[in-house]
Structure 1
């Protein structure tokens, strides 16, 4: 699924919102992101970021169902770093004495496995909502590598994936835009 159908809709129906997007990522930026993450990006995520740079100011425009704003590659890396630091320092339950070993165990679990409050290095944020809940692509190995999951600030990532891939998420975006999206919402 390409971002182009959503982009065409935005150009036609919400040009003010479309004007708020950053330029798409370059191949160099994607390569740098993969190096920083330590794993290749799923092809659909890399393709999306080469077409969509995310919103310049994440002003919580409900573009990704329901009520998420897309992040570009630079924003995603900033959020990833912040979440790893915060969640590692403050969210791991005190009973876990060896956080490194706990993280290693969670990294070895297959993609889409519940994680709790720890933000893993293989979680790549793709969107955020007004409450600070993130959607992320889970880059752990397994059949659902690249699935899109939700990370709630209270519950962490303990739910089933929202979508099995970024492509599936983009299909939902197109359905949202062409169906229930309201152009009268603050853009």
Structure 2
């Protein structure tokens, strides 16, 4: 299965902006030279997304072809525009590029867990539905407490689910994979949120681009994913009791699974 990169046109009220390149909204650019430089960076990033996604879907086609049966077609410009309007924040260029290649998997998909070690990519409809559910839970649990973490830089920890968090991966449990849309150096980083064990701590990956490349390399080169995260988590733990861990893929009974390994 081939995947190709494309610049996704996004209608957004009066600005009708194209996909936001890294570092700011397209409408904020004032000089032709700056515009070309930043768009070149975005195109390189989006090309990497397309290449990684092609490797991942190619691996599925060869090893777990039933995994592609419920892969949704690419999100439409209107769906992406609706997502950005609902979030009220700029979306990372690589997230838009990924949605321009697929819109998640249907709930019937039963091929295992594509994103280590628990997650199946969501479509936009489920992203927004789960986000609203979690916002409702936060409002009931903390009705009078201001969520100061909303103003913290992207990638910083939060016990609470924040408006700036966009779910992108479903585990079928209380855990969610999400993109952090707060501003800052790590805008667009990817983390996990667990209602039962302290919310969000540190990013798993610093971008969608990094996540997809890590998964693609793990599947096609048979090497552990999340090695860098394991080392960061180990270094951040005051009294670590285990060595850094990564996650290696394996197939069991027609399903993709991940096992923890030392790195």
In the alignment, the residues of structure 2 paired with residue 69 and residue 143 of structure 1 have an alpha-carbon distance, to the nearest angstrom, of 27
Normalized against structure 1, the TM-score is what?
A: 0.87
In the alignment, the residues of structure 1 paired with residue 129 and residue 179 of structure 2 have an alpha-carbon distance, to the nearest angstrom, of 15
CA contact (8 A) 2:114 2:121 kept: yes
Identify which of 132, 135, 144 aligns with 2:174.
132
SS at the partner of 2:167?
A: strand
Q: Which sections of structure 1, spanning at least 5 residues, go unmatched?
A: none
In the alignment, the residues of structure 2 paired with residue 133 and residue 14 of structure 1 have an alpha-carbon distance, to the nearest angstrom, of 25
Give CA deviations for 1:43-82 in whole Å, capped at 9, x if unaligned.
1111111112211016582110112111111111111111
In the alignment, the residues of structure 2 paired with residue 177 and residue 82 of structure 1 have an alpha-carbon distance, to the nearest angstrom, of 33
Q: Relative contact order (C-alpha < 8 Å, sep 6+): which is higher?
A: 1
Kindly indicate whether residue 87 of structure 2 is the aligned counterpart of residue 19 of structure 1.
Answer: no
In the alignment, the residues of structure 2 paired with residue 175 and residue 12 of structure 1 have an alpha-carbon distance, to the nearest angstrom, of 15
- Single out whichever of 67-76 and 27-36 deviates more from structure 2: 67-76
In the alignment, the residues of structure 1 paired with residue 68 and residue 253 of structure 2 have an alpha-carbon distance, to the nearest angstrom, of 14
In the alignment, the residues of structure 1 paired with residue 140 and residue 89 of structure 2 have an alpha-carbon distance, to the nearest angstrom, of 23
Identify which of 91, 109, 114 aligns with 1:63.
114
The equivalences for 1:78-89 within 5 A come to: 78-89=129-140
CA contact (8 A) 2:84 2:91 kept: yes
Q: Which sections of structure 2, spanning at least 5 residues, go unmatched?
A: 1-47, 223-247, 256-263
Partner of 2:97: 47
Partner of 1:114: 157
Name the Cα RMSD after superposition: 1.9
Q: How many residues align?
A: 178
CA contact (8 A) 1:111 1:140 kept: yes
